[in-house]
Amino acid sequence: MPLPSRLSLRCLVSGLLFIGSWQGATVVQAAPGPLAALGAGSDVSVVGISSGGYMATQLAVAFPERFSAVGVLAAGPWECAEGSLSRALSSCMTTSGGEPSLDRLENRRRRYEAAGQVGPRETLSQLRVFLWHGEDDDVVEPELGDLLAAQWKRWLANADQLRVVRREDTGHGWPVSLDDEAPPPRTLGDCQQGGGSYLLACDDDVAGAMLRFLYPDREKNDEGRGQLSTFDQSDFAVTGLADRGFVYIPEGCEEGGCQVTLALHGCQMSEDAIGDAFARHSGLNDWAALHQQIVLYPQVENSMMNPQGCWDWWGYAEPSSQLAPMHSTREGVQIKALMAMLERLQATPEQD
């Protein structure tokens, strides 16, 4: 599932000892090359689901000057866990331990801003933000999505920069369209119950709806095509990252100038768990092909420390010497790795 279990800590520990993978998910491919420098543009969005949604907001708050738009599915407010796994389980998936205090979290953000550890509120206020949550989500309670929306309303300059969607009869996951390009049924989770690959058979193109809102003025190229390939993540190796990630490059983007969407999977949605299903079937590539948008799909690995392959939204990847984990700041190890990937894509290609 795209986050640690909602069960008690004791049940969580027992459950995490079982490390499974989605049957038939292995992707066989030649050793990947390095992530290419493509001269990408600066109009960058970051989107993510569940643990990837928590990380998407962390990236935007840490580096608002580097992003123009944010999309979050099925996640709660920024810094909800405050560096604590127990708080992540009791207040950021369920609210059995009490709802997180937005005032407390805002005080934390202000302290970070004063120390130069996150970007300025004024810059953050200019982003466009799309938030989505399923009404029947039993992994991250929908009320936590409401708190995330309230948090962004505090930060944004105008109400029209924010769109909030609550979908009825939908569980935890990422809805996909059931058109001719839909993934095979065995790949999909039940729309209402969630589960499986967490790509949900809802016949709903949430990726397209999100990107249309985040990029309202983007021109369409009706002949759009592109290619999904793997890249070697060893240049960006930090705790938690897998050996390789995926990148979707539309035709013509090798020449430079294309914009980038950074797309972050949830727990149990990485290649270790479901192969390339999220990178291939989320719907992001369909929109990207028609709008000259590179989509970067970094990957987290399953490990004893992180058996469900989650992005670090509670501090597991940070050095144990830190008194307070810096995972949500400019110094967060995974945040720095993701920003380095973005910088690589934006670098000028070497001339032959």
pTM for the predicted model, two decimal places: 0.91
pLDDT digits (tens, 9 = 90+) for 133-189: 999 999 999 999 999 999 999 999 999 999 999 999 999 999 999 876 667 777 899
pLDDT digits (tens, 9 = 90+) for 192-233: 988 889 999 999 999 999 999 999 999 887 677 999 999 999
3-state secondary structure of 98: coil
What is the full DSSP assignment across 138-180?
SSS-HHHHHHHHHHHHHH-S-GGGEEEEEETT--SSEE---ST
**Does the pLDDT at position 21 exceed 80?**
no
Average per-residue pLDDT in the chain? 90
Highest mean pLDDT, choosing among 25-34, 101-110, 302-311: 101-110
> Residue 351's pLDDT band (boundaries 50, 70, 90)?
low
pLDDT value of residue 340: 98
pLDDT value of residue 1: 52
pLDDT value of residue 29: 55
> Residue 72's pLDDT band (boundaries 50, 70, 90)?
very high
The single residue listed with the structure tokens 């709903």 is 204
Torsion of CA 283, 308, 340, 58, to 10 degrees: 80
C-alpha to C-alpha distance for 266 and 249, rounded to whole angstroms: 22
Which token pair is 55?
């990380």
pLDDT value of residue 13: 28
